[in-house]
Amino acid sequence: MVSENRDTPETSAALEFFFRLNRAYAMLGRRLDIALGTYHGLSFADFMVLSALSRAPGGRMRRVDLAERLGLTASGITRGLIPLEKIGLVKRQRDPRDARIGYAVITAAGNRLLANALESAELVATQALQAIPAGQLETASSVLAQLAGVSAAGS
């Protein structure tokens, strides 16, 4: 790999991959934030929370499991859930057997908003990836799933 500046050390292909991955994430996240915010009043992070909850059995997850699924800290997920709770998209639920365990539960309003927002997110994703051949997209998705430590189906 050639460095543009002779005083700057060369970077490995692995590090270049992470630079590009971060840039792609930032650009695509910004596109999704704009579309979801403009039409649905959600950030991409909010959308991810609602999406994860909607796919969970009973529409609920322990907060620690939700944080793990989204790659966040427990405090990060708690901070993210507060505004969703205030506007009625998510509610808290205690475990009747163990008061230390808290669940986040998607509400009917959250499911309705998610269904509408899904159309916008799908459009942004489709437009952003339209030039990528299906085989490459499947391979890239598999690589990202491996890096995240999940199966492609468990994203």
pLDDT digits (tens, 9 = 90+) for 44-101: 999 999 999 999 999 999 999 999 999 999 899 999 999 999 999 999 998 888 877 8
The tens digit of pLDDT for each residue in 99-118 reads 778 899 999 999 999 999 99
Helix axes 108-129, 13-40, angle to 10 degrees: 130
Q: How high is the pLDDT of residue 9? A: 79
DSSP string over the chain = ---SSTTSPP--HHHHHHHHHHHHHHHHHHHHHHHHHHHHS--HHHHHHHHHHHHSGGGEEEHHHHHHHHT--HHHHHHHHHHHHHTTSEEEEE-SS-TT-EEEEE-HHHHHHHHHHHHHHHHHHHHHHTTS-HHHHHHHHHHHHHHHTS-GGG-
pTM above 0.95, yes or no: no
Neighbouring-strand partners of residue 92: 104
- Structural domain harbouring 68: 45-122
Residue 49 located in a structural domain:
yes
Rounded (5°) CA angle 114-120-123: 135
Q: What is the pLDDT of residues 10-31, one digit of tens each?
A: 889 999 999 999 999 999 999 9
Domain presence at residue 12 = no
67 and 103 Cβ atoms separated by less than 8 Å: no
Q: Is residue 14 part of a domain?
A: no
CATH of residue 112: 1.10.10.10
Does residue 131 lie in a domain region? no
Q: Does residue 138 lie within any of the structural domains?
A: no
- Category of 151 on φ-ψ map: left (φ > 0), alpha (ψ -120 to 50) or beta: beta
Give me the half-sphere count of Cα atoms (radius 13 Å) on the Cβ side of residue 59: 16
* Position 6 in a domain: no
Q: How confident is the model at residue 6 (pLDDT cuts 50, 70, 90)?
A: low
Q: Is residue 114 part of a domain?
A: yes
Split into its structural domains, the chain has a count of 1
Residue 115 placed within a domain: yes
